[in-house]
Amino acid sequence: MTSEKNMEDLNLPNVISIDEAYGRFGTDDDGDRDASSSLSVASSAYTFRMEHGRRYHDYKIGSPFPHDEVSDENDFLLHELCLVLLDDRYYLAPIDETSLHCVVDVGTGLGLWAEGVAERFPDSQVVGIDLTPHPRSIFPNCSYMLSDASEEWVLDDPTMKFDLAHIRSLFGSVPDWAALYKNCFDNMNSGGWIEHLEMEINAQTDDAEVPADSQIKFLSSFAHTHMTVASGRDFGISFGMRKLIEEAGFVDVQEKRLKVPLGPWASDPKLKEVGRLCERFYKTGLQGWLMHVCTRSLGGNCYRTKTLSITIISYPSMTSDYAPASRR
Ligand SMILES: C[S@@+](CC[C@H](N)C(=O)[O-])C[C@H]1O[C@@H](n2cnc3c(N)ncnc32)[C@H](O)[C@@H]1O
């Protein structure tokens, strides 16, 4: 309980005056937020639907993957995994940090990468683009744009050009990669870099062939054929991105493939940690990657899809495709 004397000690004014200029949108006569076109686009993005116990967003029937607590955990795990794997670096492109003024994170999700870069480079401006709404930014130099990144980018500041465009883990989400890369190119400064990181969904082993009847091998071919065709979205974009990035106009394309153990079996402490995170990433992600496409487009049912995902999580090693850092 606070005494009146203590309250006075806080030096609070009796009435807190309002900054008339505060707030981006006005209110209309009914007291609703205004009905500007940007808000009408945004409002449809705030509707979600439940399907087989998972939550999906409805805006333009975007990504076929859920957006809920489980997918949030999956995003956190991937972020942590990437930081450990990349030795606490947010990107590998050889960028002179002093020239890193404007950065865009395409398909930013929870904004974990965007916020991290904003914190590490406080003099830069970071913009995260996503189809789904995002909680308020933590850092003043980070903002979010609710938009389909494969459509024309309408930036708050139309003169803004990016020095780095970052894309991570959008496999199976984007119907038109060529349009998305072109938007990156068109919105970048000459000399800027694009960096795209994707995990490969298939597992491989170092010391032997993956048995032909392994579940994870089945998953790989199932994703790269049936799921890609049924969803109209490339689940194997890691294999095609180099060519598409070059076709968008980028030069000096470099591709780096990094091994990611699945499970904490490696003796190297760093890879042990990566493997531990990867196992959790796989286990928290798999059902969500499969469910919508299997039940909506491939005639599966919820029970069979859940059984499939439980069965698949059983093989010990996978690789990731780290690609490519490329210069405009
Ligand atoms: C798996 S999450 C990855 C999030 C983030 N890149 C990361 O690595 O933490 C994929 C995100 O991409 C978004 N997304 C998918 N297609 C998109 C598009 N065409 N434009 C903008 N965002 C998109 C989804 O809404 C989702 O938030």
The protein residue with its alpha carbon nearest to ligand 1, atom 2, reads: 109
**Residues whose beta carbon lies within 6 Å of some atom of ligand 1:** 62-63, 75, 78-79, 107-109, 112-113, 129-132, 148-150, 168-170, 173-174
Which atom of ligand 1 lies nearest, measured to the CA of 82? 8
Residue 193 confidence (pLDDT): 97
* C-alpha 202: how far from chain center: 20
Q: Tell which wins on pLDDT, 236 or 32.
A: 236
Q: Which residues contact 106 (CB under 8 A, 6 or more apart)?
A: 129, 149, 165, 166, 167, 170, 180, 184
For a mutational test of ligand 1's pocket, the pick from 71, 77, 131, i.e. the residue with the most ligand atoms closer than 8 A to its C-beta, is 131
What spacing in Å lies between the alpha carbon of 110 and ligand 1's midpoint?
9
Q: What is the pLDDT of residue 317?
A: 39
**Model-level pTM?**
0.82
**Percent of the chain at pLDDT exceeding 90:** 45
Question: With the CA atoms of 92, 98, 103 and 108 taken in that order, what torsion angle do they form, in degrees rounded to the nearest 10?
Answer: 50
Domain 49-327, what fold?
Answer: Rossmann fold (3.40.50)
pLDDT number for residue 164:
98
Mean confidence (pLDDT) of the chain:
81
| pLDDT of 230 strictly over 90 | no
Range in 28-32, 122-126, 231-235, 315-319 the model is least confident about: 28-32
Task: Give tens-digit pLDDT for 283-295.
Answer: 999 889 888 888 8
- CB 139 within 8 Å of CB 127: no
Residue to substitute in 55, 82, 130, 282 for testing ligand 1 pocket (most ligand atoms within 8 angstroms of CB): 130
pLDDT at 34: 37
* Residue whose CB lies within 8 A of the most ligand 1 atoms, among 47, 48, 63, 171, for a mutation test: 63
Tell me the C-alpha to C-alpha distance, in Å, between residue 132 and each of 41, 44, 92, 109, 174.
Answer: 11, 10, 27, 7, 14
How far is the centre of ligand 1, averaged over its atoms, from the C-alpha of 158 (Å)? 23
- For the chain, the structural domain boundaries read 49-327
Two tokens, residue 177: 């990669």
**pLDDT band, very low/low/confident/very high, at 207 (cuts 50, 70, 90):** confident
Cα 25 to the chain's mean position, in Å? 28
Name the band, by pLDDT with cuts 50, 70 and 90, for residue 327. low
Query: Which pLDDT score, from 0 to 100, does residue 161 have?
Result: 98
CA distances, 139 to each of 39, 118, 142 (Å): 23, 7, 5
The predicted-structure confidence for 258-276, as pLDDT tens digits, reads as follows 999 888 989 999 999 999 9
pLDDT, position 62: 57
Provide the percentage of residues in the chain whose pLDDT is more than 70: 80
